[in-house]
Structure 1
Amino acid sequence: MPLPPAPALNLLLASLNAAARTRLFPHLVLVELAAGEIVFASGTQQVQVYFPVTATILLSYQPGNGTATEISLVGNEGVIGIPLFLQEKVSPCSAVVCDAGFAYQISAAVLTGELNRPGPALRLILAYARGLSAQMAQTAHCDMHSIAVDRSCATCSHAARCPKTD
């Protein structure tokens, strides 16, 4: 039986300094995620944050009219649940597993506690959140101009791989 993937396979977790890893890693729980599994639905209360290591998770925005817009694909470079550690209890997005695999789950409260400490962890997560926001804005721009249809926009190319969530 192969060994489970290490937390350091997630690039954000690997980038934490030793002190932050010592505080956070004991709270990480390895979870297996199946393709099509809903990690969380838009508008529902969440308490867990996920750091994918081998899974890929699709974020989509559902404005309430029954349609879903794919806004980002998150793999081992990132984290799912940013609104939760920004003091939001409800996410405006849905997260659905696109590629089955593993992720490390941690309580949003534990992660928030770490981010409230002085040190580089907050800067690291905020830098990721800024990058993710920029990616979401680019995807929205591509969708507005129907570039995703002909797959000529690199940030929209995930649309051909992932299941629709509507």
Structure 2
Amino acid sequence: MPVSYLNRAASNRLLASLPAAALDRMLPHLSLVSIATGETLYQAGTAQPYVYFPVSGAVVLSYVGGATHADISVVGNEGVIGIPLFLNGAVSPCRAVVRDAGSAYRISTHRLTAEFNRAGQPLRVFLAYARALTAQMAQTAVCNGAATIERDLCAACGHANTCPLAGRLLT
């Protein structure tokens, strides 16, 4: 294995966790691209040609419903942007916007879907990541739903869960 192979694999932890044979098949199809703050990598409900493996920077996944949206996850070099795209090859229910500029490896949704469908270890790695990301999204949803106006105001002025104005612990 050439050194460049090892360096490229190590730059994204999910890619680095793949077996060498799977990464060998994917490597010629990965291209390193810059991602700029505010750039939309994909919109909810639209077909997207690429999946992204961040190397640096961070991408926010937001659920978009009607006139509202909620940030549900942040993905960095530990993961992949576009899980729904290679799970069903169609569209994502989320929007992905770059929060912190950086770079990412990009691969066509079609190519990654083909690798995913080969089964074996790469399939298990991607499914384990999808399970962890789903758990993070669920936890974020619970935390967002549990927020109260009092807690938000006290946190904004630096008092965490204790409100000196109310003289009590906020629950």
In 2, Cα distance between equivalents of 1:22 and 1:123: 17
Whether 2:90 is the aligned partner of 1:89: answer: yes
Runs of 4+ in 1 over 6 A off after TM superposition: none
Q: Which amino acid aligns with 1:82?
A: I
- Cα separation, partners in 2 of 1:110 and 1:88, compared to 1, 3 Å: closer
Matched, 1:78 2:76: no
Distance 1:71 1:8 in 2: 26
Identity between Structure 1 and Structure 2 (%): 56
Q: Residues 88 and 63 of structure 1: is their aligned pair in 2 closer, same or farther, counting only changes over 3 Å?
A: farther
The equivalent residue for 1:138 is 139
CA distance in structure 2 between the aligned counterparts of 1:88 and 1:119, rounded to whole angstroms: 19
> Which blocks of at least 5 consecutive residues in structure 1 are unaligned?
153-166
- 2:118 aligns with 117
**Could you tell me how far apart the structure 1 residues matched to 2:55 and 2:31 are?**
12
Structure with the greater alpha carbon radius of gyration: 2
TM-score normalized with structure 2 length = 0.81
Aligned counterpart, 2:167:
none
Q: Does the 8 Å contact 1:53/1:101 carry over to 2?
A: yes
Aligned equivalent of 1:25: 27
Question: What's the TM-score, normalizing by structure 1?
Answer: 0.83
CA RMSD of aligned residues (A): 1.9
User: How far does residue 82 in structure 1 lie from its aligned partner after superposition?
Assistant: 0.4
C-alpha distance in 1 between matches for 2:10 and 2:111: 18
Q: CA deviation at 1:88?
A: 4.2
Q: Which amino acid aligns with 1:112?
A: T
Offset of 1:54 from its aligned partner? 0.5
Greater fraction strand: 2
User: Structure 2 regions of 5+ residues with no counterpart?
Assistant: 161-171
Quick one: which amino acid aligns to residue 77 of structure 1?
E
CA contact (8 A) 1:46 1:89 kept: yes
**1:71-95 deviation digits (Å, cap 9, x = unpaired):** 0000000000000111141111000
Deviation at 1:143, TM superposition (A): 0.6
Query: Are the aligned partners of 1:7 and 1:104 in contact in 2 as well (CA < 8 Å)?
Result: no
Q: Secondary structure at the match of 2:105?
A: strand
Q: 2:123 and 2:89 mapped to 1: Cα distance?
A: 16
Which residue of 2 is the match for residue 6 of structure 1?
Answer: 8
The answer to whether the Cα contact below 8 Å between 1:61 and 1:70 also exists between their aligned partners in 2 is yes
